[in-house]
Amino acid sequence: MTSSEAQKESQDMSWEALGISTIRGLAMDGPQEANSGHPGTAMALAPLAHVLWTRVMKYDASDPTWPDRDRFVLSCGHASILLYTMLTLTGYGLSVEDLKQFRKWGSLTPGHPEVGHTVGVEVTTGPLGQGIGNSVGLAMAQRWLQAKFGKDLVDHHTWAICSDGDFMEGISHEAASLAGHLELGNLTVIYDNNHITIDGPTELAYNDNVAMRFESYGWNVTDIGDNAENLDIIESALIKTKESSKPSLVIIRSHIGYPSPRFTDTSAAHGDPFGADEIKITKEILGLDPDKTFQIPQEVDKKYKTAGASGSKQRLEWQARLDASPKKSEFAKALNSTLEANWHEALPSFDPGGKVATRKALQACVEASTEAVSYLLSGAGDLTGNTGVKLKDQDLMSSKDHGGRQIAYGIREHAMGAALNGMALHGGILPLSGTFFVFSDYMRPSIRLAALSKAHVIYSFTHDSIGLGQDGPTHQPIEHLASLRAMPGLSLIRPGDANETVHAWRIAVENKRPTAIIGTRQNLDVLEGTKDSYSGVSRGAYQLIKTDDPAVILVASGSEVPLCVKASKILEAEGVKTTVVSMPSWDLFEAQDESYKSEVLPREVPKLGVEAGSSFGWQKYVDEIFAIDRFGASADEATNFEKFGFTPDHIAQLAKELINKKNLTKETT
């Protein structure tokens, strides 16, 4: 077919057929220009994307943050060129030039979708399985807001496209089970059943009956078979899912790379550009000009832009309802995470001399915030009471009551983490979750994406060290503090007593980024000076016990701060002037200016760090670190701390040895 023949054929096609060909052409051109990317899935799903953006979804491209828009999640984020193409065509502000910059430095079209980076992207996806977990969180948020504010203000749907890779990942099992349990009828997941992975056919490793699996979770399942090109069948199946009280799965048998003669239904279509020759041949089949790249026919551009603007009428009608609603102010407060200026005055304080586990102090904070932070939703991985995340006098979210603020996630930490991100990024909700610190390992991929997404999520990670006792080394965190401290964008706070916990909670609520509060199972002394230490905690570290011309500085976080306070008294009794620095948050401390850092940790004074966890990273702040670089042991808390050497006497002895070592160094130099 010549170029002129292709042009004539395109003129004879319906605009929808031409539009789908255009999507497929762009899906080939973007990866080819980048010499990187995944064209095949985007090509196979072009008809589905067309139906979603022109016939099914409620949105207004001119206002991408309209609160009552439908949410779309591309869980198989490697097919990002499909999403970028639809955002370009429907008028979200992306251009052909952006598509030409696909996967290039500084572009708005990175390798996988990133929320906050590209307008129209709702969540950051890429690691497979995360998107379905996000989708469950988005649907939970919508249902809760609808229960609180009514259908007039909240009546939208969540649509997600998932792949076989998403469903192989274990998180999908957890997320789908939770969605079925809660009967999230506002969630539709479309399964792109293309039978292809990078290694070859899915049958190499995967023969699940996906329909039966999701039916067992309590989902409404529709299999439309080999109808990935039939727009009417796709549309009908999707629209019918909105009538179900259950979450819905629509299974589509697509053909990756279609209609490429060489790459259709091959693993080669998954992760590599097709090459110029194959693209030309495929464009001829599509009725496109084979000699043009990034082509968008004028009629197609006009029709898609019209589709992108078609939701403006619904948005304006919604705005009128909002303006007339007596709930307008409260709705805006939730969406904007607005706090009263004095909200924290309701938080508890603790008198010195008492003993309180920091997880219990956090529980008191959460209870005190139930009314003050009315959009706070809280839950745990079967450890609600243990981790201090129970709201005061609140109902449980259930299939019968989507308005409950307390959430039972069950033993599904991985899905819980991803759902938290979806809830936070939906807007209108501040999600809090709890589990044992060691089980943050199950949540780590979701925590990382929360940090990358700047999602306002709060984690309560408790039972934070060998101090949890007889559950033993399988449950005692060692490397976890170092691991999460290394994660950019995550704020981690390990308070040293109950009052520092109160300050940590205030910081976590007021911060607009993910924050983890690390709490103890065991009781800790309530210390002198911490009640008024908000400024110090918010700056990451401060001198809890300040001494002029100290001979040594003891630096610690969490349960080791009270031990250092006791050690300082032993040292002072021996005439050794000692300063104690509580250092609950490295990331907050790193955000301070150098003068403050030098004031808290003066370079010339010997510094001993003390932490019942890995020593990794402490060398930046102290001269020596007393820590644990092995796994723990099964014994009660007191025995563990004694056997591992975390006693005031031993810490005092280590401090004196450090002073002597430093003095000897001075003498020899």
Domain range summary for the chain, segments of one domain joined by +:
40-266+306-314, 343-525, 537-668
pLDDT tens digits along 414-450: 999 999 999 999 999 999 999 999 999 999 999 999 9
Are the C-beta atoms of 202 and 195 separated by less than 8 Å? yes
| Secondary structure in 3-state letters for 602-638 | CCCCCEEEECCCCCCCHHHCCCEEECCCCCCCCCCHH
Are the C-beta atoms of 218 and 181 separated by less than 8 Å? yes
Closest CA to 131 of 453, 438, 352: 453
Could you give the CA distance from residue 109 to residue 119 in angstroms, rounded to a whole number? 10
Specify burial of residue 532 (Cβ count, 10 A radius: 0-12, 13-18, 19+).
Answer: exposed
Give the residue carrying structure tokens 């409260």.
330
Bridge partners, residue 191, by sequence: 162, 251
In degrees rounded to 5, what are phi and psi of residue 486?
Answer: -80, -10
Q: CATH says 343-525 is which class?
A: alpha beta
The pLDDT value recorded for residue 1 is 46
Could you tell me the two tokens for 614? 């890995």
Helix 15-34 vs helix 276-286: crossing angle, to nearest 10: 170
The pLDDT value recorded for residue 528 is 98
Domains 40-266+306-314 and 537-668 share a fold: yes
Asked if 278 is an active-site residue, the reply is no
DSSP 466: G
First to last CA, the chain: 85
The b/e string for 150-181 (b: 16+ C-beta within 10 A; e otherwise) is: eeebbbbbbbbbbbbbbbbbebbbbbbbbbbb
Are the C-beta atoms of 157 and 239 separated by less than 8 Å? no
**Percent with pLDDT over 90 in the chain:** 97
Are the C-beta atoms of 483 and 613 separated by less than 8 Å? no
Q: Domain 40-266+306-314 maps to which CATH number in 3.40.50.970, 3.40.50.9100, 3.20.20.100, 3.40.1160.10?
A: 3.40.50.970
Question: H or E stretch including 432?
Answer: strand 430-436
The pLDDT value recorded for residue 666 is 73
The pLDDT value recorded for residue 4 is 52
Give the residue carrying structure tokens 């003498």.
667
Provide the 10 A C-beta neighbour count for residue 352: 14
Q: Which residues of the chain have pLDDT under 50?
A: 1, 3, 8-9
Closest CA to 522 of 578, 551, 489, 563: 563
Provide the 10 A C-beta neighbour count for residue 634: 15
Closest CA to 454 of 412, 424, 410, 496: 424
Under CATH, which number does the domain 537-668 receive? 3.40.50.920
- C-alpha distances in angstroms, 615 versus 39, 625, 630? 46, 6, 10
- Tell how many helices (H) and how many strands (E) occur in the chain: 27, 20
The pLDDT value recorded for residue 62 is 98
Q: Which of 183, 413, 611, 624 is catalytic?
A: 413
Could you tell me the two tokens for 629? 């670089």
